[in-house]
Amino acid sequence: MSLKSKVIIVTGGTSGIGEACSRHFARLGAKVVAASIQRKEGRTLAKVHGVHFVHADVSDEKSVQSLVSRTLELHGRIDALVSNAGVLRMGPVSEFDEAMWDAVMGVNVKGNLWLAKHVAPVMKGQGRGVICITTSVAAFVGFPNHTLYCASKGALEALVRSLAVELAGYARVVGVCPGTIDTPMLASSCKGWAKPVAEIYAEVEKKIPVRRLGTPLDMARAIAFLISDEAAYINATCLVMDGGTLALPPW
């Protein structure tokens, strides 16, 4: 498996799974453009790991256009897009408001559409490319107080299949479906619980068949394979990476 010299955009590329992807791909010799709204983290990532950082808000089409244009200015092509940016808003459905809807759907769903809109023509012109979208087991599991987030991730499962058919002949579209991964977003989802985060994690680990949380590097390694030429026949599907969680019986 090789990503050497491949030009890869990673959105949400400065935190959690995205940061691990940016670092791992760079180690494999790829030309990485890490995009996010986190300027400080982005500058550090660029300095330490040799990636290019571009400030971008994927919910804003003009920002996405600028990201794509900047990547082409730097490298002249886009071999892969790892569309990983995502946000979480929690609470009972009776407390959701339009601002929460706009935040979650704007980044998690509309952001993926803006990226596909502007990256697809580039890949068509090249004759090839790969788009990998980060979904979640939240697309399949009814997590309490996660209704909006679950809905957004369910939409991405459908988006992967639809884009794969629409872009057939020049771009593969795949997804990764993380389970319980040790990221800042996971930690934020534990806020408000009576137990410390470490205790919650320890209890969760006992229930996962592999007996541990996933790591961002676990995800980065799998994504590296999916966007590589060795995965050329994998298309229109999402790889579930949950340590076996979805196989658990309900008792």
Domain boundaries, the chain: 7-181+215-242
**Band of the pLDDT at 250, cuts 50, 70, 90?**
confident
What integer pLDDT is reported at residue 25 of this predicted model? 98
d(CA 226, CA 210): 22
> What does the pLDDT read at residue 195?
87
Residue type at 60 in one-letter notation: D
Residue type, 162: S
Give the mean pLDDT of the chain: 96
**Confidence grade of residue 187 (pLDDT, cut at 50, 70, 90):** confident
Mean pLDDT value of segment 105-133? 98
Task: Determine what percent of the chain is predicted with pLDDT higher than 90.
Answer: 92
In angstroms, rounded to a whole number, what is the distance separating the alpha carbons of residues 249 and 245?
9
The pLDDT assigned to 248 comes to: 93
182-190 mean pLDDT: 88
The pLDDT score that the predictor gives to residue 93 is 94
Say how far apart CA 84 and CA 227 lie, in whole Å.
13
**Which pLDDT does position 1 carry in this prediction?**
67
> Which residues, 6 or more positions from 111, have their beta carbon under 8 angstroms from its beta carbon?
11, 58, 59, 64, 83, 85
pLDDT confidence of 189, banded at 50, 70, 90? confident
Contact 133, 156 (CB under 8 A): yes
In the annotation, is 149 catalytic? yes
pLDDT of the residue at 244: 98
Residue 104: is its pLDDT beyond 80? yes
CA nearest neighbour of 32 among 170, 220, 235: 220
Residue in the block written with tokens 């490298």: 75
Is-contact 180 186, C-beta < 8 A?
yes
The CATH H-level (homologous superfamily) assignment of domain 7-181+215-242 is: NAD(P)-binding Rossmann-like Domain (3.40.50.720)
Annotated active-site residue in 149, 170, 201, 233: 149
How far apart CA 238 and CA 161 sit, in angstroms, is: 9
Helix segments in 32-183, DSSP class H: 39-49, 61-75, 98-105, 111-126, 147-166
Q: How many CA atoms lie within 13 Å of 45's alpha carbon, on the beta-carbon side?
A: 31
pLDDT (mean) for 51-63:
98
